[in-house]
Every structure is written in structure tokens, then in C-alpha cells.
Structure 1
Amino acid sequence: MPSFLENLRPFYGTNEKNAAGESLEEFLEHYDPYKYRTPSCTTDAVIFLAPEHLTKELKGMRVLLVKRSNHPSIGFWALPGGFIEMRENLDDTARRELLEETSVDGLVMEQIGTYGDYDRDPRTRVITTAYMAVLQGEERQVRAGDDAADAVWCDLELEEISVQTGGGQTDRTGNHAKQEEPESVVQFSLHVKNKERGLDTSALVEYRRRGTLVREETFSVKEAGQIAVDHAAIIVQALSVLKSRL
């Protein structure tokens, strides 16, 4: 098939032919992008409304959620987001989906993580890239659109309910020493509420971190409440990023 891109100049390398005697153009002519099953990609955006004087306790935070109008998780509340288009950068997808589903645009948006567990969507293998933005002060009016049944600002509370730490000890066998990487596990209760919509739900999110200089960090949902998929974990991760900067 013809190349996905019109401009091949950045991909010539040393302009040699490969082991089969093919130029880049010849290689691309018969390359099959469907040889391997590939996952779908989406973006999801955590949009916070924060008071003008935001403290480390994150009091008075609100989050923008949309109500799902279709399967999966129909009727549950989710972050604005959706599937990327083939000729669209991830940042542009995040902004487009936010605008289409809530009418909000013009925000500074930061990429904060990727969620790719194979069982996070029953339709197919879906990997999402998470974004975050913060509005401070006056509430921005929102309007549901596209496949969102509703779009609302929701009150938000985060409570740390348990902390476990371990590791960091040294085992010695003969002349060899093995240093265990320290590990911590924190559980959070995330409470989301909008009185007008009758929304009052809580989720349990677990944060795991292992390592020091190089860290393995995961946020996972243990109990979702009425928050779709793993979106409660994405919200908690975004709150953790904000808290670390205050």
C-alpha cells in the first residue's frame, strides 16, 4: 500500500536498501499495517475548577464530568474524551473531544499519564492518554454535545484512608547483597457530587509506588461507584500532580 505520509524525507536513514534489496518506497508498497492486531487510542481530560487561592489540601476543587449516553458504562459519569483520528496529534484530540463534549476550549492542557490495561474496555483493546487542565476562579459554562448526554461541574473530595510501606531492606548471601526496592501503597477515597443531577458517588483508588531513583507508579480503581472505567484513578493521579506542585 502507498505510504501513510506524503513526505518520506525524514525516514530515509542512510538511503541504503534493506536485506531484500528494497528502497524505502518499495518496502512501503507492500507493507501491511494490519499484519498485527493493533489497539485503539483515546484521550481523556481531567478539567478542574479551582478556587483562586488553592492550598495543598485542595479544598473547594470541582471536576468536569460528562454522562455516558451509550455502552459501555451507559448512564455513568466519565471524563470528556474519545478516539483519536488517524491524522491528528494526541494533544489536538484531547482539545477537540473536550470542545465537542462540553463546549470548553482554549485551556492549557498537560499530558499526565497513559492507561493501558487490556481489560479496561469491552469493545476492543483501548489505550488512553490522560490530560489535565485547571481553571481558577469563575466557573466556565458547559454544554453537552457529541455523544455526551450531560456535562456538569461536580464537587470533589479526596481522602487518604490507608498507607502501607515496606521494602528497603538488605538480604545478604555470601559476599552478595541484594537491596529490595522500597514500596508504598496508599488508598484514597474519591467522593464526587452534584446535587442538581442527583449524583453522589464514591470510588476507592489505590496508588502503588516502587523504587527510588527509578519509580514504578500505578493508580488503579478498586471500587468505581458511578464513575466510568478507570476514570477515578485518572482523577486521583491528576490531583496528586497538583498537590505535589503546591
Structure 2
Amino acid sequence: MSEDTVLNKQGLTEEQFLNSYDAAKYERPSVTVDMLIFTVTDEEKKNYRKLPEKVLRLLMIKRGDHPFIGQWALPGGFINMDENIDEGALRELKEETNIDNIYMEQLYTWGDVGRDPRTRVISVSYMSLVDSKTLDIKASDDADDAKWFTVKSKLIKEQKTMTENGYILHRLNKLSLNSDEENLTAIVKNIITVQGKITKVESEVVESHGIAFDHPKIIQYAIERLRNKIEYTGIAFNLMPEKFTLTELQQVYEVILDTELLKANFRRKISDMVVETDEYTKDAGHRPSKLFKFNPDWVGIG
């Protein structure tokens, strides 16, 4: 029996059912995308004899309209009915920041009721790591500005309560985004509940200064995900130029993980991920260092 002749309880074929289907039967939420574009750059040199410190930066746009007019938000916008979500993410990124043709991966879907004061909005977030020197950032007509912010996340309080079948962990993180003219902050609370084999994670923005919508918890989630992924994938190499020193690569790992790494241990860990070249740095003020490239044959976990 073909699908065309199968009848439902009302005696309708699939074609008849679809022709009579009322799409207004259910309320339809709007769908948006939010993009987290990370890069690592050098801080301004204070001593030319020392290598510059590296910092993690995140691209933000300044909202030019309500709601949250004048505050900073992740690049993004509404998905059109005739495009898939990945296409919409790339389109919005190009329209809002002039960034085109970069790799992004889906991060998480955010659907809390009331997260957008305009209407019911579900947002799919994307994350990308880029070498910012290859990009030409320009704000769109509906945004007042687009700017890189130095981003840091610090755990400021942690409390663990044991329960009969597990525990509840409360974690408070302070998020800081800084540029030459702007200082944005937020406190994000994560509640991790473990009961036997079941783990539940809840997140909320406790306070936010200058960051629009629920974007502080999206940023916090992305940083935690980035710190996790850098341990078992080659994602960090998206932040590097084609050729780099091992010291520069270690600095990128350290700034993302927010911790100092032992040089010998780090070099053992990434030895299979890099290929040595016959070239050296030519920076003034310190001895030349060997340059390396990413090993295209290296296979990570994914």
C-alpha cells in the first residue's frame, strides 16, 4: 500500500491532510541566530624585548534600536522563512559585521520564555574562532558599532551541597568584556544538579551591565565549551596564522584555559599536531624562534 492511500483517523490521505492543514493552529515562535566570534590578539607591547601578552577577544555589536538600545550584543538576527539556520547565521554575520566565508559550528539552542521582550524567541547560537587580522570588521546600518572586546570569565564563588542521590553545585562566574572605551560586566550563575546518572544544568544572569538580552550566559557557556574543546581538538589552530612559534601557540592555550602551562608538558601534548618548518622569526629584540605549521594529517577526537 502506497503512502498516498493510507488514511488517518479522519479518513484523509496525506495530500488531503496537508491541503487542509491550518498552520495557525499553533502559535509560532520567532527563530534567531547569535554568533560568538572569538579571536586571540597581542596586547600592546610595553617592552619590545619581551613577547607581547595575548588576550582572548569577542566580537560584539552596539544596538542601534530598542530593545536594549545602546547596549552591546552578539551579532545575530532573525531567520527568514525561506532559509535554513546555517544560511541565516552566515547572512546575518555578513550583514552586521561584514564577515564572510568563515567556519562556524552550532553551540546551543536557547529557548527560555521571556528571554526577548519583543516576542517569544528561540535562538540558535554559533561559535567560531578566527584570525582577526584576516577580517575587515564594519558595522551594519542597524548597528551603531562593531568592536572586539577582551573577554574574561572568573569563577568567584562555588558551593556544593550533598544530597541523598548526588549533589547540587552552585557556581558564580564574573564575566568581563573590555575595550578602550567600554567596560561591560555580568554575573552568571550555573546550578549543576547530579542525581544518580542524571545531570541537570541550569543557568541564569544574576546581573548585567551593558550586555543585552541573555547574552552573558551565552558567552559564559561558549567560554566553557571553548575551554573543553581546546583540550581534545585542533580548534585553537583557527586562531593562529599559517606559521607560528610554539611559544605563541602555548600562549593561546593559556589565555583560553586561563592558566599557566608547563612548557615541556605542553610541547609533548601538541607534538603530533604541528609540523616543523625551516623558517625562523625575524622580530627585533629577542632571538629568532623556529616556526611551525598545523599538521593537516593530525586527527583529533572531533
Normalising by structure 2, what TM-score? Answer: 0.67
Aligned residue runs from structure 1 range 144-155, under 5 A: 144-155=139-150
Does the Cα contact within 8 Å between 2:4 and 2:15 map onto a contact in 1?
no
Alpha-carbon distance in 1 for matches of 2:34, 2:185: 20
What's 1:239 paired with? 223
From 189, 197, 200, give the equivalent of 2:183.
Answer: 200
Moved over 6 A (4+): none
Alpha-carbon distance in 2 for matches of 1:110, 1:213: 28
Alpha-carbon distance in 1 for matches of 2:132, 2:82: 35
Give the letter aligned to residue 29 of structure 1: N
Give the letter aligned to residue 165 of structure 1: K
What's the offset of the Cα at 1:14? 8.1
1:137–1:151 Cα change, 3 Å? closer
Give the letter aligned to residue 153 of structure 1: W
Aligned residue runs from structure 1 range 128-207, under 5 A: 128-136=123-131, 138=133, 140-167=135-162, 169-170=163-164, 179=165, 181-195=166-180, 198-207=181-190
Deviates more, 1:140-149 or 1:20-29: 140-149
What's 2:214 paired with? 230
Deviations 1:174-224 (A, max 9, x none): xxxxx2x422121111111111xx211211111222236443223321111
- Structure 2 residue 57 is the aligned partner of structure 1 residue 74: no
Alpha-carbon distance in 2 for matches of 1:15, 1:107: 47
Alpha-carbon distance in 2 for matches of 1:13, 1:185: 52
Deviations 1:108-133 (A, max 9, x none): 21111121111111111111111111
What's 2:6 paired with? 16
**Higher CA-based Rg:** 2
Give the structure with the higher percent helix.
Answer: 2
* Paired residue secondary structure (2:25): coil
Give the letter aligned to residue 218 of structure 2: I
Q: Give identity over the alignment, percent.
A: 38
Task: In structure 2, list runs of 5 or more residues that go unmatched.
Answer: 43-53, 232-302
What's the RMSD between the two structures over aligned residues? 2.0
* Paired residue secondary structure (1:112): strand
1:13–1:188 Cα change, 3 Å? farther
Aligned residue runs from structure 1 range 15-164, under 5 A: 16-51=6-41, 60-136=55-131, 138=133, 140-164=135-159
Alpha-carbon distance in 2 for matches of 1:133, 1:213: 32
Deviates more, 1:62-71 or 1:29-38: 29-38
Alpha-carbon distance in 2 for matches of 1:18, 1:122: 40
Structure of higher RCO (CA pairs closer than 8 Å, 6+ residues apart): 1
Does the Cα contact within 8 Å between 2:168 and 2:191 map onto a contact in 1?
yes
* Paired residue secondary structure (2:27): coil
Alpha-carbon distance in 1 for matches of 2:3, 2:156: 54
Task: In structure 1, list runs of 5 or more residues that go unmatched.
Answer: 1-11, 53-58, 171-178
Deviations 1:19-50 (A, max 9, x none): 11111111111111111212111010111012
1:146–1:218 Cα change, 3 Å? farther
Give the letter aligned to residue 87 of structure 1: D
Deviations 1:151-189 (A, max 9, x none): 11111121110111123x43xxxxxxxx2x422121111
Alpha-carbon distance in 1 for matches of 2:176, 2:225: 18
Alpha-carbon distance in 1 for matches of 2:4, 2:199: 37
Give the letter aligned to residue 209 of structure 1: I
Give the letter aligned to residue 224 of structure 1: S
* Paired residue secondary structure (1:215): strand
Number of positions where the alignment pairs a residue of Structure 1 with one of Structure 2: 217
What's the offset of the Cα at 1:18? 0.6
Normalising by structure 1, what TM-score? Answer: 0.82
